[in-house]
Amino acid sequence: MLFDISSILADPMSFLTSLLISLPGVLLALSIHECAHAWVALRCGDDTAYLMGRVTLNPAKHIDPIGFLCMLMVGFGWAKPVPVNPNKFRSYRRDDLKVSVAGVTANLCLFFVCFFILSLVYSAAIGKLFDESIIPYVGKDALFDNWYLVGSYFIESAFGKVAGVFYDIIRNCMFINLSLAVFNLIPLPPLDGYHVLNDLVLKQDLFAQMRTQRIAGGILIALIMLGNYMPQYDIISIAINAVRSGVLNSLSIITKALAQLIGAI
């Protein structure tokens, strides 16, 4: 469920701490996503979003209240759409494709930045703990199985609680950016995935008819609500979590290589 009132009332500080840790990642993920759309549109000849002040990382220019809450509670959501006038594009369909993939690309870039920061900090932490004989050598593979989930324990042990909090903030930022990228690739209007599918395959009008957008929006809301009350049918979260786990587990080899590079293992 998105809101478990009983657990919130039972431990409000834990709930508040979780929100505060997620907040920077949510604000940055939404802002960089929409800013990228606006910036690429400007580069393609459309200054509509630029004139509205949307080429900025200022969250106040981009946040949609409902999408913002969804990002905080379930890890995927949306911001205010960037206005686009395709008649100003230099290449009608090609530039629409560029603008559509810009947000997802920005989120993936930020995901990789967070990933490399976490990998380096984690590697430094286990190297320090080994040097001080605080933890025994348990084998390379065991150290990097789901390291991104257990890493805060090693960070706190090596560098203290403050470092552990910053690690959690960056980790949440990493998770949120990857989740937002995957969510936006769903091929339903008005999400970016629909524009990509349309520009490359369907070749229909750039923007779906309002009736189609309402139906697609209703489907997305229904799926979110279904996942809220019946988690076993939370198709979106299950798919996003599967992709996220697959990507991070595949990238663990990079974390291990970084640890070897700096001499941590």
At residue 57, the 3 state secondary structure works out as coil
Distance, first Cα to last Cα, the chain: 41
Instruction: For the beta carbon of residue 167, count every other beta carbon within 10 angstroms.
Output: 23
Cis before 12 (ω within 30): no
Contacts of 137 (CB under 8 A, 6+ apart): 130
The answer to whether 118 touches 171, Cβ cutoff 8 Å, is yes
Three-state DSSP string of 136-203: CCCCHHHHCCCHHHHHHHHHHHHHCHHHHHHHHHHHHHHHHHHHHHHHHCCCCCCCHHHHHHHHHHHC
Distance from C-alpha of 144 to C-alpha of 259, rounded to nearest angstrom = 10
Distance from C-alpha of 234 to C-alpha of 163, rounded to nearest angstrom = 34
At residue 79, the 3 state secondary structure works out as strand
- Residue 132 is a catalytic residue: no
Eight-class DSSP state of 59? G
Active-site hit among 26, 34, 35, 182:
34
Active-site residues: which are they? 34
